[in-house]
Amino acid sequence: MINIEYKSKRSNLYELQVRTIIGSLPFYSEEVEGAARVFERSIEKLQRRSVAFPADCYKLEMAEDYKSFTIWHRKANGDKDRVVAVVSNK
């Protein structure tokens, strides 16, 4: 089982869609690596609604031990802006 801890609560369209994808991860995978793959595939399917694609704005960073990953919102220049959620094993 995976555990999801939300860190950001912004209400823009992209972030709401991303949080919906994150919330559905336990239904698709019980392992962190599988959830990471599902997230990356799902974020690529979101439609572009501004100058940036969602896949460019929201990136995941896997922990060194592969037991958790952090989903970051990134600025237009690629710098990390804020943590959206942390997904880990229970």
The Cα 81–Cα 73 span in angstroms is 6
**In 3D, which of 22, 26, 1, 2 has the Cα closest to residue 88?**
2
Identify the residue whose tokens are 């896949």: 55
Burial 52-89 (b: 16+ CB within 10 A, else e): eebeebbbbeeeeeeebbbbbbeeeeeeeeeebbbbee
Q: What is the pTM of this model?
A: 0.88
The Cα 61–Cα 44 span in angstroms is 16
Residues 24-73: tens digit of each pLDDT: 999 999 999 999 999 999 999 988 877 778 888 899 999 999 999 999 99
